[in-house]
Amino acid sequence: MKRILVLFTFLLYLNTVFSQTTKNWTPDLGNGQFKNPLMWGDWPDPDIIRVGDKFYFISTSMHYVPGCPIAVSTDLVNWEMAGYAVSRYDEDARYDMKGGDMYLSGSWAATIRYHDSTFYAGFCTPKMGKNKEGHFSICTAKNINGPWTRTIFKEYLYDPGLFFDDNGKVYVAHGQQKLFITELNSDAKSVKVPQREIYDNPHYPYLEGSHMYKVNNKYYILGSTGGTQGREVCLRSDSIYGPYESKVVMQDDHTYPGNGLHQGGMVQLKDGSWWFIIMQDRGPIGRVPNLEPVTWVDGWPILGKNGIGAATYPKPVAGVSSPITVPASTDEFNAPTLGLQWQWNHNPDNSNWSLTARPGYLRLKAGKAATLYNAINTLTQRVEGPYSEGTAEIDISGMKDGDVAGLGVFQVPYAYLAVEQTHGKKRIVMSQSDSTVATAHIKHNKIWFKAMVSEKGFVATFAYSTNGKDFTPLGNELKMALGLDWTANRFALFNFNKGGATGGYIDINWFRR
């Protein structure tokens, strides 16, 4: 028994190491230099802190669950997942796909800070539709891996930047073009002083994504103006309530013409230097973070090389030998929990998936849904540039009539390869937004599906195999787009039943990138 336990522990360790270090895109050049982008995938609205010798990066993920992914690094270049600040959204039944959906809601514009041995993560949640008012949340934890406790405010603080002043006061900078400061109580779990307007400049349309700092007794707010085509602006004042003067500290789109580097967070290293992680919209691949040096000129933080993004640059942390790591992608489903790369589309129904029903496999039971768009328990992870592919081995012997199960690339529009069962017979279908494009026969109860994504032309293609070695293309190209604003395309594993009956199940042996 002891030998079995030791072997299981060793295999679990190998699975964890493999999933965290498998190389896809990496910025580390292996010679003391790095290249941008930092992570060539959808990590929007970045913010960053340093706690001791570690850096923590937070992003937002809209309607995907868990929300607010957090990554950790020791050198600002090599990252791996640490966890999530939000386990699920319980404030509205539509997060469970009941009575509607919550696409594009959830977590927006995350902020992260560390104060008095506590991690704080904040974000805003807009209500979709004509009335964009929503609410603001603060999540707290003693350990970055959780558990996290969420406090929902009645106030709506758009694109919040949490700030702990050295006089013990706590503030949030927020707003869009018209910026505000709201003071919180000392535990940062309720509002103490209602918002006060501090800045409004029509020359900076959509000024948002505010993150606040105090350097040499001056208050700085860094934010983005101009949306996707934007630039980074810095506001500066001797008082937190202003008046503020301003300066454009980065304006560059040379790496992706038409889409400027904009919105992010700044961090100071132990050696006193400052660095900035800033995002850039790269179409259907997502909002991609870059790492930029900060040079202080006349009291202003100028990003990159004189306001221009750096293609390559010496790594920020000297003397630290960090292994080349990337956020997890592959999952063998041998561990007792899902790999941290995975997020569900809306809240999962935990009664309809399992990692223990068949050890070594992910079991997905089919929930009732007319289309993939409103299916429960669609499991997703980021696609990546410049090229990425995902392959899954699936046992389909447990399917029932009406089940549609497979692997897709999800956004709007979306496409997938699936096995579809009707009247006891199975067939392979290639579908675009649930319209069948091509079909193929299947005689076996095991199938391999592959989805291939290219940043060039933003296309995805699909192939299947019945032996795990020889793959046959099926269907046509998916022209990836952004029908769901501000969220990227994702690999998606799914099983839903469109016949209205109680569906069957599939067992996924692995997903590999």
- 31-64: per-residue pLDDT in tens? 999 999 999 999 999 999 999 999 999 999 999 9
Tell me what the pLDDT averaged over the chain comes to.
Answer: 93
Q: Does residue 8 lie in a domain region?
A: no
For residues 149, 155, 160, 161, the Cα torsion angle rounded to the nearest 10 degrees is -80
Mean pLDDT of 422-447: 96
Contacts of 297 (CB under 8 A, 6+ apart): none
Name the band, by pLDDT with cuts 50, 70 and 90, for residue 286.
Answer: very high
Q: Which domain holds residue 393?
A: 343-512
Predicted local distance difference test score (pLDDT) of residue 501: 74
User: How far, in Å, CA of 185 to CA of 170, rounded?
Assistant: 7
CA atoms within 13 A on the CB side of 261: 29
Task: Answer yes or no: is pLDDT of 19 > 50.
Answer: no
Q: Does residue 10 lie in a domain region?
A: no
Q: Alpha carbon of 169 to those of 155, 162, 182, 221: distances in Å? A: 19, 11, 11, 17
Both 289 and 374 in one domain: the answer is no
- CATH code for position 396: 2.60.120.200
pLDDT digit string, tens, across residues 150-184: 999 999 999 999 999 999 999 999 999 999 999 99
Q: Does residue 310 lie in a domain region?
A: yes
Structure tokens at 116: 């008095």
pLDDT digit string, tens, across residues 226-285: 989 999 999 999 999 999 999 999 999 998 999 999 999 999 999 999 999 999 999 999
Both 162 and 249 in one domain: the answer is yes
Both 296 and 365 in one domain: the answer is no
Q: Alpha carbon of 373 to those of 97, 180, 418: distances in Å? A: 10, 37, 15
Q: Is 85:343 a contact under the CB 8 Å cutoff?
A: no
What does R_g of the chain's alpha carbons equal in angstroms?
23
Q: Does residue 1 lie in a domain region?
A: no
Both 302 and 353 in one domain: the answer is no
Structure tokens at 181: 């400061």
Strand order in the sheet with 118-125: 108-115, 118-125, 135-141, 149-153
Both 131 and 259 in one domain: the answer is yes
Both 350 and 289 in one domain: the answer is no
Both 283 and 420 in one domain: the answer is no
Q: Is 409 exposed, middle or buried (0-12, 13-18, 19+ CB in 10 A)?
A: buried
Both 141 and 180 in one domain: the answer is yes
Q: Does residue 60 lie in a domain region?
A: yes
Both 164 and 274 in one domain: the answer is yes
Q: Does residue 3 lie in a domain region?
A: no
Task: Answer yes or no: is pLDDT of 68 > 80.
Answer: yes
Task: Answer yes or no: is pLDDT of 17 > 60.
Answer: no
Read out DSSP for 174-212? EEESEEEEEEEPTTSSSEEEEEEEEEE-TTSTT-EEEEE
Predicted local distance difference test score (pLDDT) of residue 321: 77
| Structural domain count, the chain | 2
Both 381 and 247 in one domain: the answer is no
Both 258 and 367 in one domain: the answer is no
- CATH code for position 65: 2.115.10.20
Both 131 and 270 in one domain: the answer is yes
Q: Does residue 269 lie in a domain region?
A: yes
Q: Of 307, 388, 306, whose CA–CA distance to 341 is shortest?
A: 388
User: How far, in Å, CA of 265 to CA of 44, rounded?
Assistant: 11
Q: Does residue 327 lie in a domain region?
A: no
Name the band, by pLDDT with cuts 50, 70 and 90, for residue 132.
Answer: low
pLDDT digit string, tens, across residues 72-131: 999 999 999 999 999 999 999 999 999 999 999 999 999 999 999 999 999 999 986 545
pLDDT digit string, tens, across residues 453-476: 999 999 999 999 999 999 999 999
Mean pLDDT of 23-27: 83
